[in-house]
A and B are shown apart, each in its own frame.
Chain A
Amino acid sequence: MPERDAFAGIRVLDLGSFWAGPYLGSLLGAMGADVLKVEGPRRVDGFRFLAAFPQQGSRWYELSGLFQATNLNKRGLTLDLGTDEGRAVFERLVADADVVIENFSPRVVEQFGFGYPALAALNPRILMVRMPGYGLEGSWREFVGFGNSFEYAGGIGWITGDPDGPPLGPGGYADPLVAMHGAVALVAALQDRERTGRGQLIELVQAEVVAAMTPEPVLHHALTGEVLGRTGSRSAEFAPQGVYPCRGEDEWLALTVRDEADWKRLVAIVGEPPGLPAQRLSTLDGRQAEHDALDRWLFAWTRDRDPAATAALLQQAGIPAAKVLTPAAMYGDPQLTSTGYYQSIEHPLSGIRRYPTWPFRYGDSRDAGVRLAHRFRSPLLGEHNEEILRERLGMSPDEIDELRRRGVISERMLGTDEEKDDGGDT
């Protein structure tokens, strides 16, 4: 289907690490681009070290589910950009590429000599997507950070949590959202290139992306002088609204009473809350005023109930409610599984795993359509070195062996655990 091939024919060099950069590369690959995952043989993508542990064996850096899930739809190439030979190979690849992605702190690619001006000199049509944490310029240019940091710096952490508790970072959701903003900007830049023939630099400052999605605290302060705080699960517009404990460990139910009609439906199921005047509870203001008491009443009702069955009961009556989805239940979630959200893909070292796909479906069907899927598994480190160097650059087996002998490319991580077998960061 052509709508799933928006980036067919586009060649991408993905220098990304961890999540934001690589996730953009993975989406482009899922939509048809030829994406090369470029890692240093001594400086591999740091996501390889998350949720993977040295006790998993000498090639533990291949086993991270997080790394695999963000690097689907790519081929793998290693290149030591700290060497003249590695830089020369990269320059030849840039000359024939459409897009370069990187999300290091700015000095990293620049110290290799690959800032945008250098890439544009090699290929004026190149589109370089850079995702610095705090900007390519400015006094915080070299500051390190990850999604969690940007969520706090961008203002969403302060307004997440209970009113009487500490601010709590969402948990890194910024990364994939930065990637998706990158996809939007990239389509526009490709359009501009088709019109003008020139490439350009696309900068996505990760803290700015978060701040662009968190406008209310700054707006509110500018217009009223008040600092927005945390409201936990409550809402100014709906009451009661909350997250209530259910039977079992770590089982919770979320529900929202949007209006008086919802309230009547809830009372029809649960019964009248004892000791509270019915008339008062018929209005939003009244329910807000009694929210603590209503929470206690709902706690008492939910605590011995099954959350999924209770959510279904409330939904049947037309009240918004859902079981709180926990990590243990994610693979078994009925909505996700029945709508084909997970895709089973076999990896040569970790076997079959079920990976999240994408929230995009296509087709005329009112109900479903065909989901955008992954095209193929994530690569092993340097898995496609030979294929890429031979096909893209016409290198001979001897030339490729020489790069390998010099440590410019490798199919095993060099300099740390492969030699010492005790791992790096975890």
Chain B
Amino acid sequence: MAEEPAEGPLRGVRVVEIGQDIAVPYAGRLLRLLGAEVHKVEPPAGDHLRRRAPNGTSAGTGGLFRYLNAGKSSLTVDTAGPDGYALVAALCADADVVLVDEGLGAVAGLDAAVAERTGTVVRLVDFAADGPYGQWQASDLVLQAAAGWVSPRGRADGDPVPVGGRLGEYAAGTYVAVAGLTGWRSQADGPPVRALVDRMSAIFNTVAFDMLRRETLVELGYTQTRYTAYIPGPMPCADGMVAVNCLTGQHWHDLCTLLGVPEYADRYVEMRYDRGDMAAFYAAVRPWFAELTVAETVELCQAFRVPAAPITTGATAPQLPPFRERGFFVAAPDGGLHPGPPFRLRDVPAGALGAAPTLRQRHADA
């Protein structure tokens, strides 16, 4: 049986998650971090993420599965059998919140109907069913493309690429968690809540209002109306790469002063929106960056209040001073390293979650 964080603010809240892969398990992880009791329903072979390498020292259970499902209990169900569906229905009837993936992470044979007696049920689908894409097939890439996430990422002449790391799944999971908890909060004394989140509009909800931005740029006659990036972007340094992203004219002005190119200081709008010669700018400033380390560059830029950050890799992220000093990454039982909670409630900190459930571990109550 899963451990219960002693002081979690959601202690006593019972959650059932029916979904494989990342999205719904990430939603369940967020609620578990806050103290909820999370019961995971898996198909007989287990969540397919269990079989995804690397495994570390835990043969047969992938590291990412362990991160997403730490501290949960698990029930594997064969819904083809006579009792499987009834078992899940009984588990859901006793839950406060049920999160169900009916799209990419669906568990065969189970949908939200299994939770008809639960107070709050959130369904996650790929595309909203009442639109023309309602019956479409999805993949991570296709969802990103449909939702505006596949773009040249600010490069005027670049081909479009998706976001790496399956961030869209985490985004969808986060919105599922919001729907689940706000539904639960509002339904305390009211009728049951039935919420629907679709992956496409959850991902699109994070796009930086490109449609509104473009409307203004077109109206004012600027030439760069397709994609905009916060310049100058990634810059190679002596020992790695740094990202410098000027959001405002003030940032740009201060950066140009720091770099010793005052002739560009008052040309932010031109450089960003109006055919500014970024190639000439890059040629002028690359030597400045190339002579400094990443740490030196970040320190100098920050001294000028210019937003600069190292571009971290899987090897360097845990050593980034704010992560290291705050003990953000924690050693996992399988030899891995897990990110910590994305939020900290200072009076009711998240407890240790313990291990992810092994396959076929059944919750005692079920």
Pairwise interchain contact B132-A335, C-beta atoms closer than 8 A: yes
Pairwise interchain contact A51-B133, C-beta atoms closer than 8 A: no
Given A223-B55, A339-B130, A160 contacting B317 (CB threshold 8 A): no
User: Which of A2, A46, A425 lies in contact with B187, CB distance below 8 A?
Assistant: A2
Interface size class of B (residues with CB under 8 A): 35 or more
Pairwise interchain contact A218-B318, C-beta atoms closer than 8 A: yes
Q: How far is the CA of A350 from the CA of B154 in the complex (A)?
A: 27
For B191, the chain A residues whose CB sits under 8 A away are 2
Given A173-B207, A208-B323, A222 contacting B335 (CB threshold 8 A): yes
B136 contacts the other chain (Cβ, under 8 Å)? yes
Interface centre among A51, A230, A255, A256 (most CB of B within 10 A): A51
A5 contacts the other chain (Cβ, under 8 Å)? yes
Given A134-B322, A143-B302, A331-B211: 9 more A-B contacts, CB < 8 Å: A3-B190, A51-B209, A177-B206, A185-B34, A204-B342, A215-B64, A219-B64, A254-B150, A322-B133
Given A205-B326, A335-B132, A159 contacting B164 (CB threshold 8 A): yes
A139 contacts the other chain (Cβ, under 8 Å)? yes
For A64, the chain B residues whose CB sits under 8 A away are 216
For B336, the chain A residues whose CB sits under 8 A away are 219, 222-223
Report, nearest first, the 7 A-B pairs whose CB atoms are least far apart. Answer: A65-B212, A217-B314, A254-B145, A159-B164, A221-B314, A256-B139, A192-B9
Interface residues of A, count at CB 8 A:
155
For B8, the chain A residues whose CB sits under 8 A away are 188
B1 contacts the other chain (Cβ, under 8 Å)? no
Closest to B184 in A: A187
Q: Mark A237-256, 1 if CB is under 8 A from B, else 0.
A: 01001010100001010111
Closest to A157 in B: B311
Q: How far is the CA of A56 from the CA of B216 in the complex (A)?
A: 10
For A181, the chain B residues whose CB sits under 8 A away are 30, 174, 342-343
Can you name 23 A-B residue pairings with CB atoms under 8 Å?
A2-B186, A3-B183, A50-B247, A64-B216, A134-B322, A140-B321, A153-B317, A154-B312, A158-B313, A170-B153, A184-B34, A200-B348, A205-B322, A205-B344, A214-B167, A231-B164, A243-B160, A256-B139, A256-B141, A256-B142, A327-B210, A336-B131, A354-B211
Closest to B344 in A: A203
**Which A281-307 residues have C-beta < 8 A from chain B?**
none
B41 contacts the other chain (Cβ, under 8 Å)? no
Pairwise interchain contact B131-A176, C-beta atoms closer than 8 A: no
B10 contacts the other chain (Cβ, under 8 Å)? yes
Q: How far is the CA of A325 from the CA of B203 in the complex (A)?
A: 12
Q: Mark B155-187, 1 if CB is under 8 A from A, else 0.
A: 100111111111100110011011101111111
Q: How far is the CA of A155 from the CA of B136 in the complex (A)?
A: 31
A125 contacts the other chain (Cβ, under 8 Å)? no
Interface centre among B63, B170, B205, B298 (most CB of A within 10 A): B205
**Which B128-153 residues have C-beta < 8 A from chain A?**
128-134, 136-151, 153
Q: How far is the CA of A220 from the CA of B336 in the complex (A)?
A: 8
Pairwise interchain contact A169-B197, C-beta atoms closer than 8 A: no
Pairwise interchain contact A169-B139, C-beta atoms closer than 8 A: no
Q: How far is the CA of A238 from the CA of B162 in the complex (A)?
A: 15
For A387, the chain B residues whose CB sits under 8 A away are none
Closest to B31 in A: A184
For A157, the chain B residues whose CB sits under 8 A away are 234, 243, 311
For A4, the chain B residues whose CB sits under 8 A away are 186
B84 contacts the other chain (Cβ, under 8 Å)? no
Of B71-79, B87-95, B220-228, B354-362, the segment with at least 4 beta carbons within 8 Å of chain A is B220-228
Pairwise interchain contact B9-A322, C-beta atoms closer than 8 A: no
Pairwise interchain contact B337-A138, C-beta atoms closer than 8 A: no
Pairwise interchain contact B314-A169, C-beta atoms closer than 8 A: no
Smallest Cβ distance from A261 to chain B, in angstroms? 11
For A349, the chain B residues whose CB sits under 8 A away are none
B315 contacts the other chain (Cβ, under 8 Å)? yes
For A51, the chain B residues whose CB sits under 8 A away are 209, 212-213, 216-217
Pairwise interchain contact B182-A183, C-beta atoms closer than 8 A: yes
A320 contacts the other chain (Cβ, under 8 Å)? yes
Pairwise interchain contact A338-B132, C-beta atoms closer than 8 A: yes
User: Which of A221, A238, A327 lies in contact with B211, CB distance below 8 A?
Assistant: A327
A121 contacts the other chain (Cβ, under 8 Å)? no
Pairwise interchain contact B185-A173, C-beta atoms closer than 8 A: no
Smallest Cβ distance from A54 to chain B, in angstroms? 10
Q: Mark A350-392, 1 if CB is under 8 A from B, else 0.
A: 0001111011111110111100000000000000000000000
User: Which of A162, A166, A426 lies in contact with B249, CB distance below 8 A?
Assistant: A426
Q: How far is the CA of A155 from the CA of B329 in the complex (A)?
A: 13
